[in-house]
Structure 1
Amino acid sequence: MPKQGQFARQSRQSKLKATKQKLKRQKQTITDQQMSDFLVVRYALTLRQRTTANSQETLQRFIQEIADHLRQTQGDFEHLLPMIWQKVSGQVPWQFYWQLSLNWPQLAPFLHREINALPLGQPIWVQNLPTLEDFDTQLLNEMVNQIIATTTLNHPLKSEQREQVKQRLTTTLWIDKQIQWEQIRQLLGPFQQTITSNDSGSQVWLDHLARL
């Protein structure tokens, strides 16, 4: 049995060790503003190496968009993804959505693992991460809306007409729970316009996407 002096020294050592561990944990945490860079680095070290060259930049930019909305939505993808679709609408060619669809089976597990592991002072936990079918359903809705907006630009449809066209397009472009991307190419290809960006790096990426 240790003497009182020994116990006091052990107690002080335990407190000192606990304090050091706490400080170490604090030093290892990141701020919300660092989430994007942290996830991009994790992507570069893991998933990017297994992703085709055509998709690498698209996935990185999508991850950055997700990071920008994580705290606001507390990691709830049911709210997060619609915010991204609204933000990028009209800013990216249809091939952007195509690349996301192709890579979602690999990207979803990465997001679940890496977001939950973010060393934040206040953790964020992934919620309602969609399956591939649910994810593609969202992408299809974006594509249908884009097709209608593009092909009826000079002849706006009434609400009832628009809904009928939307239902027909959805049926045509969704077969065996898969998006018919080649049909989307045929529908949007003749109307594809050059999307410009003030950032040269983004412009190179957008031009590359449009050529896929």
Structure 2
Amino acid sequence: MPKQGQFAKSARLKQLNNFKVRSRQRGKTISADQLPDFLLVRFNLTAKKRIPHAAQETAQRFLIEVFDQLVAAQGDLASLVPDLLDDISHRAPWQFYMQLLPQWDLLQDFLKKELPAVPLAQRCYVTTTVTTADLTKVVAQLLAKKAAAITFLKRPNVPAAMQQQTAQLLYGSIYHDGTIDWAKVRALLSPFPFTIDSQLDEGTQQWLRALSQL
């Protein structure tokens, strides 16, 4: 299970990706802290193969963080996912969202189907959902906020109201007709290279490096 604010280590992903399914005794339950591993194994056995290969690692790393909070959030994806994406905005380049959004319907359907089947002592269910359309708006707002923050990076005394106004203008520029203009996002953010945390394991750094070069 990853620590809050960190991506799962690549060695852990590899271990779970190669996990061999074993028959389990009927009625046997697992603890809540085993849920992320259980669901990731199910993901690798079922939904992962329907995701383009280039986006698979992004999808599963995101899911691990969702899995880690599902029980505490009581399956409330509508609250959990936007907050998580906001947190990730500080830890991953903008290309993370570009890969994730097209897969969201598949990932959410996986959660709705598989979460109730996890043999927890007290079963957990997805209690609220979020549409790809709504999630796209959330991502557009996060990207506009990020671009505005970068714009005023060397002007820390700029009033918050001006930053908010700038973010709103940028939001209108990159989001229209229900879609994000990724070419405009690239134009706004590519001049400011993403800085990778050197404390992350090498596999995670390689993934983030590859993402930032898309």
Larger Rg: 1
Distance 2:164 2:145 in 1: 10
- 1:1-212 to structure 2, matched below 5 A, reads 24-25=26-27, 27=28, 29-156=29-156, 157-196=158-197, 197-212=199-214
Distance 1:86 1:168 in 2: 19
RMSD over equivalenced CA pairs, Å: 1.6
Residue type of the partner of 2:183?
E
Distance 1:203 1:125 in 2: 33
- CA drift of 1:86 comes to 4.1
| Counterpart secondary structure, 2:71 | helix
1:12 maps to none
Question: What TM-score comes out, normalization by structure 1 length?
Answer: 0.83
Gaps of 5+ in 1: 1-22
**Deviations along 1:57-77, whole A, 9 cap, x unmatched?**
011111100011111111101
Distance 1:68 1:180 in 2: 31
Distance 1:73 1:79 in 2: 8
- CA drift of 1:116 comes to 2.4
| Counterpart secondary structure, 1:169 | helix
Distance 1:182 1:165 in 2: 19
Distance 1:174 1:82 in 2: 17
Distance 1:134 1:198 in 2: 31
**Deviations along 1:145-204, whole A, 9 cap, x unmatched?**
111112210023312212221221111111111111111011100102331342112111
Contact 2:148/2:167 (CA < 8 Å) preserved in 1?
yes
Distance 2:87 2:164 in 1: 23
Higher relative contact order structure (alpha carbons within 8 Å, sequence separation ≥ 6)? 2
| Counterpart secondary structure, 1:192 | coil
Question: What TM-score comes out, normalization by structure 2 length?
Answer: 0.82
Gaps of 5+ in 2: 1-24
Aligned length: 188
| Counterpart secondary structure, 2:70 | helix
Residue type of the partner of 2:194?
Q
Contact 2:145/2:164 (CA < 8 Å) preserved in 1?
no
